[in-house]
């Protein structure tokens, strides 16, 4: 995994995670006194727009490393940071699918269920990726793993 790919995954993940958390807080935990208000806070639609714009970049970044990093490490049996990597990798597909379905589903019950699934998977992905990067930094053996895999 190149430095550019690592940074692309890190920065797009951070942007998507923070905009998602911002939208979550403003939508579900902030209330307004105006009974006719469509949004709870004026920044709520901006966080949603930023999240919808950042997430395709995250999908692109993850897609660029899926075969050369995720699949290669899984097949070769690399043990370093395997659990956290699998948490992030396995939550990614359903998280993406639920994010796209949220935009097209109109039934209130389905929308609520998809939103809960998307939020839970987004948190799993964020925690998994942060843990994955923390383990790799702490152990300091990431370049060694890469050299062994791609010789």
Q: What is the pLDDT of residue 144?
A: 53
In this predicted model, what pLDDT tens digit does every residue of 106-115 receive, in sequence order?
A: 999 999 999 9
Q: What is the pLDDT of residue 150?
A: 47
Q: What is the pTM of this model?
A: 0.81
Q: What is the pLDDT of residue 141?
A: 58
Q: What is the pLDDT of residue 136?
A: 78
Residues of the chain with pLDDT under 70: 79, 81, 141-151
In this predicted model, what pLDDT tens digit does every residue of 17-46 receive, in sequence order?
A: 999 999 999 999 999 888 888 899 999 999
Q: What is the pLDDT of residue 24?
A: 96
Q: What is the pLDDT of residue 58?
A: 95
Q: What is the pLDDT of residue 2?
A: 80
Q: Are 10 and 133 in contact (CB under 8 A)?
A: yes
Q: What is the pLDDT of residue 6?
A: 84
Q: What is the DSSP string of the chain?
A: --HHHHHHHHHHHHHHHHHHHHHHHHHHT---S-TT-SSSSTTHHHHHHHHHHHHHHHHHHHHHHIIIIIIHHHHHT--TTHHHHHHHHHHHHHHHHHHHHHTT---HHHHHHHHHHHHHHHHHHHHHHHHHHHHHHHH--HHHHHHHHT-
């Amino acid at each position: 995994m190149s430095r550019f790919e690592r940074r692309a995954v890190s920065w797009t993940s951070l942007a998507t995670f923070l905009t998602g958390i911002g939208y979550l807080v403003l939508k579900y935990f902030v209330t307004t006194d105006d009974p006719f208000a469509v949004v709870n806070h004026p920044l709520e639609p901006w966080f949603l727009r930023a999240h919808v714009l950042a997430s395709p970049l995250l999908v692109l970044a993850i897609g660029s490393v899926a075969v050369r990093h995720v699949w290669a490490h899984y097949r070769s049996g690399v043990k370093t940071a395997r659990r956290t990597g699998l948490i992030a990798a396995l939550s990614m597909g359903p998280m993406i699918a639920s994010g796209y379905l949220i935009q097209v589903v109109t039934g209130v019950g389905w929308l609520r269920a998809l939103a809960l699934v998307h939020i839970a998977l987004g948190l799993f992905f964020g925690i998994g990726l942060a843990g994955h990067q923390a383990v790799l930094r702490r152990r300091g053996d990431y370049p060694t793993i890469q050299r062994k895999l791609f010789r």
